Structure 1
Amino acid sequence: MTEAPEPTGPNGRAHTRYTPGTPCWVSLMARDMAATQTFYAELFGWELEPGPRRPGPYVRALLDGHEVAGIGQLPPDRHLPAAWTPYLASDDVDLTAETVRLCCGTIGVGPLDADDSGRLAIGSDPSGAVFGVRQAAEHLGTRVAGVPGAPVWNELVTFETERVVKFYETLFGYEGKAAGPDGFDYVTLHLDGRPVAGVHGVGRALLRDRGPHWLTYFQATDVDGALERLTALGGRVLTPARDSAHGRVATVTDPEGARFALVQEPR
């Protein structure tokens, strides 16, 4: 079990241990590794170093020497979209993968050992949203939270929350709590009384070309300034910056179309 800190919400403080079910890592699968590394290094100030070597070419992103995310190479023979994927912590990836199957989800990769970084599987929930499960080695995990360039929240964007929330509650023992005003289909997933992820049902507003998906939020000092850098680097703004209860937020893509969000703490 890694001792890396875990974020508790869009502006959450770090904790000292990954409880099973807590988002513990985010990983981007991209086509052009060199161009993608340049984009995120310029946008977030990441330093990038190789490893692990399996299951394919991979680099880890660091902020001040602390690991925050990973970037892997999409297999050239597979026509998959570039996408960010959150990994949920597990004490037993094989058992979690079997539970995914029993709960009408699917496992597309693994379980397998990823070099010296732990054991992992990649699957999808009953709505088709892709997520990872990781039984991490001691040294691997997102080791910093609440600083610019670090992931601070993960949110499942789907058609409706009820069915898919039951899947994740069964899988990891989350307690789902409705959040927001009447008519706003949003559920926060809690572990040990802490919010660790969100599920947002958007109905027909869900993009047909993307379908249900997990969205990772990265901390930004100045969202508007970050959007200027992003577009100059070839990224695209999907949802313009707006003020929310958790701060200023925008949804964007990188040059290959991988979606993510930027969030700035309220002032």
Structure 2
Amino acid sequence: MKPTEPVPGGPCWVELGTPDVQAAQTFYASLFGWRCETDPRPEAGGCTTARLGEDAVAAFSPLYRPEQRPAWTVSFATEDADATAGAVRSAGGTVLMGPMDVFDQGRFAVAADPSGAVFSLWQARAFRGAGRLNDAGALGWAELRTSDPRGALAFYPSVFDWTVSSSAHFTHWGADGADFGGMKVQDDDERAEAPPHWLPYFTVSDTEATAARALTAGGEPLAPPTHIPGGPWVAVLRDPQGARFGIHTP
């Protein structure tokens, strides 16, 4: 079973920081059918919401620092952002920003685990998070790519009270009785190119066809469409601005 709406400790939102918000909107809309709306308020900083129908599913924002990499950031739901930020620090992580209020929408913080993988915390108020999860075009999986699996296994369950189920090849994360993501150890090539990070996977009806559209639209394949025995079809791509993301067909 996978979550269909945000639950405490689970992924609730995903946001892309990119040097070209308009180009990113065009690229991802061609893949997922998103309709994009930019918040006109100056204090919103150019943040754009992507929707499926009327449901918000993701966001785009410009890069705020010259050294910032184009990247997707996964947000995890919490009932108390300040307490969870404290748990991040106690477990050896770093709070990079906040906690801070975002209008009347919620309370927000940006954090990093001890290996440097960045994620966000979201305490909902008027805005709960993604209106859809695990639907076509919506976030369907969140995977930690890390060089320190032992550290991650100590850190995340202590911060979020996640359940963990591990095999010789893969670790699954769970919240509220449902698996929402996993952990994969970075190989040497990935480690040389990208620091530890959270990789969002978006659900699609046909992984091979969506990967082909991504390439036509200027994306780059990092891992070609592959069928996991007994599991989904998956692929990992890089968008034209350099951000990594995954797609999967359950």
The counterpart of 2:234, out of the listed 239, 243, 249, is 249
| One-letter amino acid matched to 2:27 | F
1:127-181 CA-to-partner distances (Å, cap 9, x unmatched) read 11000000022333111123221110101011242221110011011121113xx
8 Å CA contact 1:145, 1:152 repeated in 2: yes
Q: Which residue number corresponds to residue 121 of structure 1?
A: 109
Tell me which residue corresponds to 2:37.
Answer: 49
AA at the equivalent of 2:193: D
Q: Between the two proteins, what is the percent identity of the paired residues?
A: 35
* Equivalence for 1:88: 76
Equivalent position to 1:79, from 46, 55, 67? 67
Aligned: 1:70 with 2:59: yes
Aligned residues between the structures? 248
1:183-227 CA-partner distances (Å, limit 9, x unpaired): x2x221222332122112235353312111111010111111111
Cα distance in 1 for partners of 2:116, 2:149 equals 13
1:215 and 2:199 are equivalent in the alignment: yes
- 1:60 Cα offset (Å): 0.7
Q: 2:4 aligns with which of 14, 18, 37?
A: 14
Deviation at 1:78, TM superposition (A): 2.5
Shift of residue 112 of structure 1?
1.2
Q: 1:207 is paired with a residue of what secondary structure?
A: helix
Per-residue displacement from partner, 1:55-103 (whole Å, max 9, x unpaired)? Answer: 622011100111111111112x421111001100011111111221121
1:39 and 2:27 matched: yes
- The amino acid across from 2:4 in the alignment is A
Residue aligned with 1:126, SS: coil
Q: Could you tell me which of 203, 223, 230 is aligned with 2:214?
A: 230
Q: Which amino acid aligns with 2:245?
A: F
Rate the CA distance shift 1:223–1:67 in 2: closer, same or farther, 3 A: same
CA offset at residue 258 of structure 1?
Answer: 0.5
Distance 1:195 1:136 in 2: 21
Say what the alpha-carbon RMSD is for the aligned residues. 1.8
Alignment gaps of 5+ in structure 1: 1-7
Residue identity matched to 1:148? A
